[in-house]
Amino acid sequence: MPGRHPPGSASGPARWKTLVCVDEATRRELARRTERWFIRRGLPHFIHDYNAREDILTRAAPFLSLVFIFNVWGAFAENRRGWSEVLPVGGAVLILSAVALALNRLRHRRLLQLPDRVGLPEVLVFVFVPALIPLIFSDERWTDGLWSVATNAVILVVTYWVVSFGILPMSRWAAGRAGSMITNLANLMARALPLLLLFATFLFLNAEIWEVSHDMTTATFWAVALLLFFVGSLFLLLRIPRELARVADFSSWDEVGRLCEEGELDLPLAPDLSGRPDPPRLSRRDWINVSLVFYTSQGIQVFLVAVVIAVFYIVFGILTVPPATVDVWVPEGHTPLLLPGWLPDTGLTAELNRWLESHVSTELFKVTGFIAAFSGLQFLVAAVTDSTYRTEFFEGIVQEIREALAVRAVYEATLVEHVTEPAG
């Protein structure tokens, strides 16, 4: 943020203009540092020439190698015990090792080196070679072989997408945001509760919703919750293009420099950068990557609000809706579906069990879950569209994305053409 500069240093555009004269080695280091910054923010597709062969599958190689080794398990069979397993397992180890060593030899790598470039040969070996083990050593040869191919193909595809879009660093970044949100949860709820509680409280103290919850099966309840989740997700995803169009526009390079400093990344502006910045257009994968960051960050905030709302109404329901009232609200002739006791049925815990069984019902949890999900959807819509709540709950992630786009503009304009080594 502004004001982070050490004593005696210049700030803003003036500081940037003192950093333009750097040598080639410094530019390379700045490029690598910027790429690591993109990865930590969950935006690896902002890296220039980010590709599967040199970046994505190469970074996934350690995990995929472990999966490849684990395929030795296919040599075990239920009808073999003890020493009879030694030959099949040894043969499986020999097959996998021989193929891996031969591939490294053909690709001019050290025998035990992990791939520095993952191409079609490595992919074919990973998917199809482990199927040789059940084909040779299993009784259900073709079934187990096809299952091995399908399993490895699914693992490869899932791993590719997880690494490609930086799901793990994005999750770490989102968890850090969640931690800061939790520390500011009191402030968050103090501002959000007035919006959510007014309507939800009247809904909670309504007999019809308790009657509906009593008749609702567990599957129906989860279907309704997923429907609200889908509606919220669709609303947020439809808003993202408009938000990106707004934050990706910069009035000057001085503004770009200020945003990079706020993102805690020092990058030099080239001497010939002037006028209005015109960074390369975001590719389809760039858009998907940024959308995932938007979605994850806002989703965590909505989830925290929904959890707090759920806890509030569970406590509120226990205190304000006694069992006798629930008996009146549910359909005539029916009684609430009581939860089983959670504690050992002895002494004081037995009394506590009886109290829980009479005060905490499945209807209470269903009504609370529905209201929490609906309140989360209401909060999301207000946070994105209402100017009063938008500044407090949505502009933070918008500003972080704007900082990332500013860093990308400088990276593309001053550092990309000097990068000759793989970015992964």
Residue 225 lies in a domain: yes
294 and 396 together in one domain: yes
Give the mean model confidence (pLDDT) for residues 55-70.
85
Tokens coding 299: 């989703």
Residue 421 or 370, more confident: 370
Please tell me the predicted confidence (pLDDT) of residue 418: 42
Residue 16 lies in a domain: no
413 and 288 together in one domain: yes
Give the mean model confidence (pLDDT) for residues 243-251.
81
Confidence of residue 397 (pLDDT cuts 50, 70, 90): confident
Kindly tell me if the per-residue pLDDT of 19 is higher than 60.
Answer: no
End-of-domain residue from the set 131, 146, 164: 164
Kindly tell me if the per-residue pLDDT of 224 is higher than 50.
Answer: yes
Alpha carbons within 13 A on the beta-carbon side of 163:
22
Give the mean model confidence (pLDDT) for residues 188-198.
69
Residue 12 or 296, more confident: 296
Give the mean model confidence (pLDDT) for residues 102-116.
84
User: How many angstroms separate the CA atoms of 87 and 105, rounded?
Assistant: 26
User: How many angstroms separate the CA atoms of 368 and 316, rounded?
Assistant: 10
Kindly tell me if the per-residue pLDDT of 227 is higher than 90.
Answer: yes
181 and 118 together in one domain: no
User: How many angstroms separate the CA atoms of 185 and 393, rounded?
Assistant: 12
Give the mean model confidence (pLDDT) for residues 178-201.
68
Between 362-385 and 185-204, two packed helices, what is the crossing angle to 10 degrees?
Answer: 120
Kindly tell me if the per-residue pLDDT of 101 is higher than 80.
Answer: yes
Residue with tokens 């860093």: 407
Residue 36 lies in a domain: no
218 and 172 together in one domain: yes
184 and 237 together in one domain: yes
> One-letter amino acid identity for 103?
L
The C-alpha angle 178, 367, 334, rounded to 5 degrees, equals: 155
The dihedrals phi and psi of 398, each to the nearest 5 degrees, come to -60, -40
Tell me the average pLDDT of the chain: 78
401 and 382 together in one domain: yes
> One-letter amino acid identity for 142?
W
Confidence of residue 18 (pLDDT cuts 50, 70, 90): very low
Kindly tell me if the per-residue pLDDT of 21 is higher than 70.
Answer: no
User: How many angstroms separate the CA atoms of 144 and 368, rounded?
Assistant: 46
Contact of 381 with 374, CB cutoff 8 Å:
no
Residue 224 lies in a domain: yes
End-of-domain residue from the set 164, 186, 201: 164
User: How many angstroms separate the CA atoms of 317 and 360, rounded?
Assistant: 9
**Exposed/middle/buried for residue 299 (C-beta within 10 Å: 0-12, 13-18, 19+):** middle
Residue with tokens 């099949």: 88
Closest C-alpha among 293, 277, 233, 302 to residue 409: 277
User: How many angstroms separate the CA atoms of 130 and 70, rounded?
Assistant: 9
Number of domains, the chain: 2
305 and 183 together in one domain: yes
Tokens coding 131: 């199927």
Confidence of residue 187 (pLDDT cuts 50, 70, 90): low
User: How many angstroms separate the CA atoms of 46 and 282, rounded?
Assistant: 9
120 and 50 together in one domain: yes
Q: What are the residues facing 338 on neighbouring strands?
A: 361
Residues sharing a CB contact under 8 Å with residue 241, sequence separation 6 or more, in sequence order: 287
Give the mean model confidence (pLDDT) for residues 392-419.
79
Kindly tell me if the per-residue pLDDT of 181 is higher than 80.
Answer: no
Longest distance between any two alpha carbons in the chain, whole Å: 84
End-of-domain residue from the set 164, 179, 194: 164
Residue 183 lies in a domain: yes
For the ranges 201-205, 260-264, 353-357, which has the lowest average pLDDT? 353-357
Residue 409 CB neighbours (<10 A): 23
Residue 296 CB neighbours (<10 A): 19
For the ranges 59-68, 108-117, 180-189, 196-205, which has the lowest average pLDDT? 180-189
Residue 22 CB neighbours (<10 A): 17
Contact of 271 with 30, CB cutoff 8 Å:
no
Residue 181 lies in a domain: yes
351 and 242 together in one domain: yes
306 and 374 together in one domain: yes
User: How many angstroms separate the CA atoms of 235 and 391, rounded?
Assistant: 18
Residue 398 or 353, more confident: 398
Closest C-alpha among 374, 382, 376, 393 to residue 187: 393
Residues sharing a CB contact under 8 Å with residue 155, sequence separation 6 or more, in sequence order: 64, 67
User: How many angstroms separate the CA atoms of 240 and 136, rounded?
Assistant: 52
Contact of 297 with 397, CB cutoff 8 Å:
yes
Kindly tell me if the per-residue pLDDT of 391 is higher than 50.
Answer: yes
Contact of 107 with 97, CB cutoff 8 Å:
no
Residue 13 lies in a domain: no
**Helix (H), strand (E) at residue 257:** helix 253-262
Give the mean model confidence (pLDDT) for residues 8-30.
54
193 and 339 together in one domain: yes
Beta-sheet strands, E only, within 291-367: none
In terms of residue numbers, what domain contains 69?
Answer: 43-164
Residue 307's SS3 state is: helix
209 and 338 together in one domain: yes
For the ranges 191-205, 217-231, 245-259, which has the lowest average pLDDT? 191-205
Kindly tell me if the per-residue pLDDT of 7 is higher than 60.
Answer: no
Confidence of residue 2 (pLDDT cuts 50, 70, 90): very low
Residue 8 lies in a domain: no
Give the mean model confidence (pLDDT) for residues 15-23.
47
Contact of 71 with 130, CB cutoff 8 Å:
yes
Please tell me the predicted confidence (pLDDT) of residue 231: 93
For the ranges 73-77, 279-283, 319-323, 343-347, which has the lowest average pLDDT? 343-347
Confidence of residue 342 (pLDDT cuts 50, 70, 90): low
Please tell me the predicted confidence (pLDDT) of residue 6: 36
Contact of 389 with 195, CB cutoff 8 Å:
yes
Residue 418 CB neighbours (<10 A): 14
